[in-house]
Amino acid sequence: MMKLELIREEKLFRLIPGRTRKSRLEASGVAVVDDSTVFVVFDNLNQIARIDVSLKRSRRNGLRHAPSLGAGFEDIAADATLGSTFGLIESVEDFDGALRGFVAEYDGKGRLRQCTRLPGRFQKANKGFEGLAHARHKGRECLYALREANFRRSGRIDVFRRAANGGWKASHRIALPDEARFKDYSALAYRHHQLAVVSQESARLWVGRLHERTHTLIPGSGVVYRFPGKNYCNIEGIDWLSHDTLIAVSDRRQKDQPARCARTDQSIHIFRIPVIPAGRP
């Protein structure tokens, strides 16, 4: 199994004005906004961070408030066409008592446009949607939501289309293949018919391709990569910078995790996918 190549990384507190080493920045998702900017969300803050992709201090870096139903976000996605952003709320008790995932939608100026439910129910509050991606297919606006697996099964991606009332309706599901049967699922990214799925506990990345016409998974297209070293214990968000480069963020180290995990926690990282040697599957 090939490993990802680390390009650069930095602690988030060094990039966000007003934050210190003691700040709790439990990063849970990242979205590429344009060639120079990414947004980062946290599962302990109703705020969105704006960070320069150089991963250096910049006057453009900062935090803005992002009101929603929850106490933080599980992931974030961006619409490059309209400049909208979507904050994923893993699961919240709805009016009928059922647990459902919600999406808070913000306009290009960061103003809350609406917060709508995603179809489907969950059994546990901490076992809802784990990752979110936005795309347009055949002129239709779509959301891809990654959810945990059932017992002994790989995870799946639920695909939603924009409804006439501005909300979201179920379209179809993408079952992840056996090679993507990880211990858990923590992040999802989509770009140019290419999917990326991350496992925090397994410290693995799976990359597969979707059919351009049907948007179904192309059998045999998936490849699994491992993160370099043993310090990447908490990768919680990921997005594509280019066809072979990904940007990721890490959550805070848990008390029961090895001390080495603190070296890369609450950080932002850039990885490159290695070239597969000729003749190698």
User: Would residue 37 count as lying in a domain?
Assistant: yes
pLDDT tier at 153, thresholds 50, 70, 90: low
If one compares 263 and 67, the residue with the highest pLDDT of the two is: 263
Pairing, β 84-93 against β 75-79: antiparallel
User: Would residue 277 count as lying in a domain?
Assistant: no
User: Would residue 280 count as lying in a domain?
Assistant: no
Whether residue 165 has pLDDT greater than 60? yes
User: Would residue 278 count as lying in a domain?
Assistant: no
User: Would residue 279 count as lying in a domain?
Assistant: no
What is the number of domains present in the chain? 1
Whether residue 272 has pLDDT greater than 60? yes
How large is the average pLDDT for residues 99-116? 92
User: Would residue 216 count as lying in a domain?
Assistant: yes
Query: How many CB atoms within 10 Å of residue 48?
Result: 22
Which amino acid would we find at residue 72? Answer: G
How confident is the model at residue 123, as a pLDDT?
A: 79
User: Would residue 188 count as lying in a domain?
Assistant: yes
First to last CA, the chain: 11
Which amino acid would we find at residue 7? Answer: I
pLDDT tier at 209, thresholds 50, 70, 90: very high
CATH number for the domain spanning 62: value is 2.115.10
Domain of residue 247, residue span? 5-272
- Rounded to an integer, what distance in angstroms lies between the CA atom of residue 140 and that of residue 156? 21
How confident is the model at residue 64, as a pLDDT?
A: 93
pLDDT tier at 79, thresholds 50, 70, 90: very high
Report the percentage of the chain scoring pLDDT > 70: 95
pTM: 0.93
Per the DSSP assignment, residues forming a β-bridge with 98 are none
Which residues neighbour 102 within 8 Å (Cβ) at sequence distance 6 or greater? 68, 69, 70, 88, 89, 92, 115, 116, 117, 118
How confident is the model at residue 124, as a pLDDT?
A: 76
Residue-wise pLDDT tens digits, 2-13: 999 999 999 999
User: Would residue 207 count as lying in a domain?
Assistant: yes
Which residues neighbour 92 within 8 Å (Cβ) at sequence distance 6 or greater? 69, 70, 99, 100, 101, 102
Would you give the DSSP letter of residue 217?
B
How confident is the model at residue 71, as a pLDDT?
A: 73
Highest-confidence range of 115-129, 190-204, 266-280, by mean pLDDT?
Answer: 190-204
Which amino acid would we find at residue 138? Answer: K
